[in-house]
Structure 1
Amino acid sequence: MGFAFTGDDVAYLRSDEGGDALAEVARHPLTTRTHLADLAAVRARFGSRAPALIETVRLRRKATVKLEQADRWLLTDDALQQATPHPVAAARAHRLAGRRVHDVTCSVGAELAALAGRCAYVVGSDIDPVRLAMAQHNIGSVPAPRAGAGADIALLRADALAPVTAGTVVLADPARRAGGRRKHDPAALTPPLPELIDVYAGRDLVIKCAPGLDAEALGWRGEVEVVSLDGGVREACLWSESLVEHGVRRRATVLRSVGADERYTDAMPDGIPEAPPGRWIVDPDGAVVRAGLVRHYAAAHGLWQLDPRIAYLTGDAVPDGVRGHRVLEHVRFADKPLRQVLRAHDCGALEVLVRGVDVDPDALRRRLKPRGSRSLSLVVTRVGRAATAFVCEPTVGGN
Structure 2
Amino acid sequence: MGYAFTSDDVAFLRSAAGTAALAEVDALPFTDSSRLHDVGVARKLLGDGFAPVVETVLLRRKSLAKLEDVGGWLFTDDALQQATASAVARHRAERFRGRDVHDVTCSIGADLRALGEVAARCLGSDLDPVRLAMAHNNVPGTPVVRADALKPVSRGTAVTVDPARRDSSGRRKWHPQDFLPPLDELAEVYAHTDLAVKCAPGIDFAVAPWADEVELVSLDGAVREACLWTRGLATPGVSRRATVLHGDAAWTLTDAEPDDCAVAPPGEWIVDPDGAVVRAGLVRHYAARHGLHQLDDRIAYLSGPKPPPGIRAFRVLDHAHYTEKALKSALKARGVGRLEILVRGLDVDPNTLRKRLKLSGPDEATVVLTRIGSKPVMVLCRPERT
Q: Same fold (TM over 0.5)?
A: yes
More displaced stretch, 7-16 vs 338-347: 338-347
Per the TM alignment, residue 323 of structure 1 is displaced from its structure 2 partner at its CA by 0.9
Question: Of the candidates 189, 211, 229, which is equivalent to residue 239 of structure 1?
Answer: 229
Aligned counterparts of 2:21 and 2:71: Cα–Cα separation in 1: 13
Note the aligned Cα RMSD (angstroms).
1.6
The residue type paired with residue 362 of structure 2 is: S
Identify the residue that residue 368 of structure 2 maps to in structure 1.
Answer: 379
Deviation of 1:96 after TM superposition, in Å, equals 1.6
Give the corresponding residue for 1:159.
148
- Whole-angstrom distance in 1 between the partners of 2:354 and 2:210: 42
**Displacement after TM superposition at 1:177 (Å):** 5.0
Residue 265 in structure 1 maps to residue 244 in structure 2: no
Instruction: Summarize the Cα distance change of 1:247–1:317 in structure 2 as closer, same or farther, 3 Å threshold.
Output: same
**Residue 264 of structure 1: CA displacement?**
0.5
Q: CA deviation at 1:231?
A: 0.5
Name 1:102's counterpart in structure 2.
102
Q: Secondary structure at the match of 1:261?
A: strand
Displacement of 1:104 in angstroms is: 0.1
Alignment check: 8 A CA contact 2:241 2:254 kept = yes
Deviating more after overlay: 239-248 vs 373-382: 239-248
1:306 — aligned with what? 295
Please name the residue that 2:330 is paired with.
341
TM-score normalised over the length of structure 2: 0.96
Task: Quote the offset at 1:278 in angstroms.
Answer: 1.1
> 1-side partners of 2:329 and 2:39: how far apart?
57
Give the partner amino acid of 1:82: Q
Q: Which residue of 1 aligns with 2:378?
A: 389
Percent identity between matched residues is 55
Q: Does the 8 Å contact 2:263/2:297 carry over to 1?
A: no
Between the two proteins, the alignment pairs up a number of residues equal to 383
Match of 2:344 in 1: 355
Q: How does 1:189-208 map to 2 (within 5 A)?
A: 189-208=179-198
- Measured after TM superposition, the shift of residue 385 of structure 1 is 1.6
Deviates more, 1:339-348 or 1:288-297: 339-348
In 1, Cα distance between the equivalents of 2:306 and 2:236? Answer: 32
Matched with 1:277 is 266
| Cα distance between partner residues in 2 of 1:24 and 1:221 | 49
Q: CA deviation at 1:305?
A: 0.4
Q: How does 1:1-399 map to 2 (within 5 A)?
A: 1-140=1-140, 153-176=142-165, 184-258=174-248, 260-397=249-386
Q: 1:185: how far off?
A: 4.3
| Cα distance in 2 for residues equivalent to 1:212 and 1:220 | 17
Within 2, Cα distance between the matches of 1:333 and 1:360? Answer: 14
- In 2, the alpha carbon distance for the partners of 1:162 and 1:69 equals 33
Cα displacement string for residues 199-253 of structure 1 (whole angstroms, at most 9, x for unaligned residues): 1111100000011111212323411111110110111110003222221000001
Contact 1:278–1:315 (CA under 8 A) maintained in structure 2:
yes
Mapped to 1, the partners of 2:17 and 2:52 lie a distance apart of 13
* Deviation, structure 1 residue 184: 4.5
Residue deviations 1:2-58 (CA, integer Å, cap 9, x gap): 111111110111112211110110111223432332222212211222000000001
Unaligned segments of structure 1, at least 5 residues = 141-151
- C-alpha distance in structure 1 between counterparts of 2:177 and 2:326, whole Å: 51
